[in-house]
Structure 1
């Protein structure tokens, strides 16, 4: 079943929320692929390449936001990102070594779906409590 973006996943950072939604869309493409009997492995290659790059960039941005906003779960966030990148790397290597299988794709989707919803709901949403400080309020105080 496709993973759906829900309002309770929102971090109130439009850039991060859009990135999360994009990752969900690509996770759902993986699910669609896993349901097909005949798969074009170039599509799988493209999807994995995208996920590796996109997640790397997303994690970097999100971690910087958490540090900048002094979010108390910043280190936990980073640790979970490191573990997830290792998980994804292992799965990509397994695919490259063993080739595509429907079972591999289904398991990867299930783990990805689980991790995304659990991580976002437990960790990323903490950004809501630590909004970015605007310079408008600080410049008004200086007048």
Structure 2
């Protein structure tokens, strides 16, 4: 089931919200394609795109935090580094072991990981920025 953007996920900063919407779209697109043809190439392309876009998004978010004097910038930056390491480790697991079958259960595991990777970060970490963003307006 695709992730749906809801206003309650908004941090109030249009650029960051647009990034979050794009990350959601990337995960939803992966799910839709994986339901048709779940391949290593699709998985590889998706993880690579998520890593690249995620790194760029995290850089934008961290610049915003510095600019607005976000009190938890250092711990948030460390959380970003952990998220990148997590997805890199996940990619290594699924992309280096050719004997690992891409079964429906594996597909569901990957989708849960990606959804949790993004949505839990937005809810648990990014939404804490909202009061700081609103004060800047």
Q: Please confirm whether the aligned pair reaches a TM-score higher than 0.5, indicating the same fold.
A: yes
Deviations 1:65-107 (CA, angstroms, capped at 9, x unpaired): 1122111232232122111111100111122212461333321
Q: Quote the residue 1:141 is aligned against.
A: none
- For normalisation by structure 2, the TM-score amounts to 0.83
1:101 aligns with 102
Deviation at 1:133, TM superposition (A): 4.5
TM-score (ref. length: structure 1): 0.80
Do the aligned residues in 2 keep the contact of 1:34 with 1:106 (CA within 8 Å)?
no
CA separation in 1, counterparts of 2:80 and 2:106? 21
Which residue in the other structure is 1:17 paired with?
Answer: 17
Aligned to 1:47: 46
State which of 117, 126, 132 in structure 2 corresponds to 1:130.
132
Question: What is the count of residue pairs matched by the alignment?
Answer: 133
Deviation at 1:19, TM superposition (A): 0.5
Partner of 2:114: 112
* Whole-angstrom distance in 1 between the partners of 2:3 and 2:27: 8
Aligned-residue offset at 1:41 = 3.5
Structure 1 unmatched ranges of 5 or more: 135-143
Partner residue of 1:28? 28
**Contact 1:31-1:106 within 8 A present in 2 as well:** no
Q: Structure 2: 5+ residue runs without aligned partners?
A: none
- Is 1:73–1:123's contact at 8 Å kept on the other side of the alignment? no
**1:27 CA drift (Å):** 1.0
Q: How far apart, in 1, do the equivalents of 2:9 and 2:136 lie?
A: 21
Instruction: Give SS of 2:5's match.
Output: coil
Contact 2:34–2:42, Cα closer than 8 Å, also in 1: no
Stretch of structure 1 that moved more, 102-111 or 16-25:
102-111
- DSSP-derived class of the 2:11 partner: coil
